[in-house]
Amino acid sequence: GAVVSQHPSWVICKSGTSVKIECRSLDFQATTMFWYRQFPKQSLMLMATSNEGSKATYEQGVEKDKFLINHASLTLSTLTVTSAHPEDSSFYICSATKKETSSGANVLTFGAGSRLTVL
């Protein structure tokens, strides 16, 4: 099956520092990965689409200079929250697309999420 690993699962940092979150597809190659943000008791909000070998595509309202995304290889995408502030505290979830060979459909597999707390 498709497995997506996300690290770290929990991170606490001081205001003004930067935090990097990694998303890896362990047993398949993902040309496209997605980064979501989830506030408590709310649905997932798409932040950006990470494309291997090219720049990420950000959703409206998401600051690309604050949330740096790098898709260095077909199995790794990273999200760096730069100069983090308490309002950046949230649950960040990545996902990767794998094409099903039987149906041809693209099915998303999600990482376990990363809880960021900025003090």
**What's the CA gap between 47 and 80, in Å, rounded?**
13
Distance in Å, CB of 119 to another protein, minimum: 19
Q: Which of residues 46, 62, 68, 76 is near another protein by CB under 8 A?
A: 46
- Could you tell me which residues come within 8 angstroms of residue 100 by beta carbon, excluding any fewer than 6 positions away? 106, 107
Using the rule CB under 8 A, which residue among 79, 93, 116, 118 binds another protein?
A: 93
Whose structure tokens read 């094409």? 99
Residue 32 makes contact with another protein by CB under 8 A: yes
Kindly tell me which of 1 and 86 has the beta carbon lying closer to another protein.
1
